[in-house]
């Protein structure tokens, strides 16, 4: 089989596996602040192989998450596309920075990501906005957990890349 096709297959498989874990496997006790593994994996591939992952993957998995989680159609997708762009724009700087620095950068990225879901686009509950203390706390915990999970995730995906994707 064509090497390039096989590499693409492994990348997409890892993204799909992360999506399945996000939707079906993660325990419900962390439901309010569980990390979005699909996004973490997408960020990793954008850092490691920016020429193999792009807008199509971001759009596809974003829309898949939208229809599976019941969020506004296109919200995950738009955020995924923007994060993909940011990652690809700054991956040279990000890739060489130490792990703690990567985690801190991702913390802010994830915090903003979570806050975007606090907007009441349909104006269904007047008074419900980002100033909601509980939601800010949930977003903070989500960002902390996601940035902490980035470290093991990075090493797991790097090992996976070295074994399966020989570039």
Partner 1 sequence: MLKREHKVSYISSEAIFAIPAMKRSRVVFAVIFCICLMISDVKFETSSTLRLVSHEILKPISLVIDFPGYVADITSSFISARVTLDKRVKTLEEENLKLKATNQLAKKLAIDLERINTLWSSSNLNKESFKISKKNLLSSNIFQPLLVLDIERDHDIKINNSVISEKGLVGRISNVGISTAEVFLIQDIRSSIPVVSGTSSIHSTLKGFGLERTGQLSYVKKTSKFYIGEKIFTSGLGGIFPQNILVGEIISIDDPADSEFLRIEIDFSQTPINQDFFLIYKHE
Q: Which residues bind partner 1 (CB under 8 A)?
A: 20, 23-26, 28-29, 31-32, 34, 50-51, 54-55, 58-59, 62-64, 66-75, 77-78, 81-82, 84-85, 88-89, 117-118, 120-122, 124-125, 128, 134-135, 138
Distance (Å, rounded) from C-alpha 88 to C-alpha 55? 10
The residues near 5 (Cβ < 8 Å, ≥ 6 apart) are none
Distance (Å, rounded) from C-alpha 47 to C-alpha 89? 10
Q: Which is nearer to partner 1, 120 or 159 (CB)?
A: 120
The distance of closest approach from Cβ of residue 121 to partner 1 in the complex, given in angstroms and rounded to an integer, is 6
Q: Which is nearer to partner 1, 69 or 101 (CB)?
A: 69
The distance of closest approach from Cβ of residue 41 to partner 1 in the complex, given in angstroms and rounded to an integer, is 17
SS3 14: helix
Angle at CA of residue 48, ends 37 and 99, nearest 5°: 70
The distance of closest approach from Cβ of residue 104 to partner 1 in the complex, given in angstroms and rounded to an integer, is 23
């Amino acid at each position: 089989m064509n090497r390039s096709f096989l590499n693409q297959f492994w990348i997409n498989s890892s993204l799909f596996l992360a999506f399945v874990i996000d939707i079906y496997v993660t325990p419900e006790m962390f439901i309010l602040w569980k990390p979005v593994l699909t996004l973490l994996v997408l960020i990793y591939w954008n850092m490691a192989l920016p020429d193999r992952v792009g807008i199509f993957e971001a759009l596809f998995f974003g829309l898949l998450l939208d229809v599976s989680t019941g969020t506004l159609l296109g919200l995950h997708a738009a955020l995924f596309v923007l994060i993909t762009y940011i990652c690809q724009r700054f991956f040279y700087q990000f890739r060489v920075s130490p792990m703690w620095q990567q985690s801190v950068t991702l913390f802010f990225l994830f915090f903003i990501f979570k806050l975007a879901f606090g907007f009441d686009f349909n104006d269904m509950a007047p008074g419900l906005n980002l100033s909601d203390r509980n939601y800010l706390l949930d977003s903070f915990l989500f960002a902390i957990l996601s940035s902490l999970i980035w470290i093991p995730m990075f090493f797991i995906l790097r090992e996976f890349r070295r074994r399966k994707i020989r570039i």
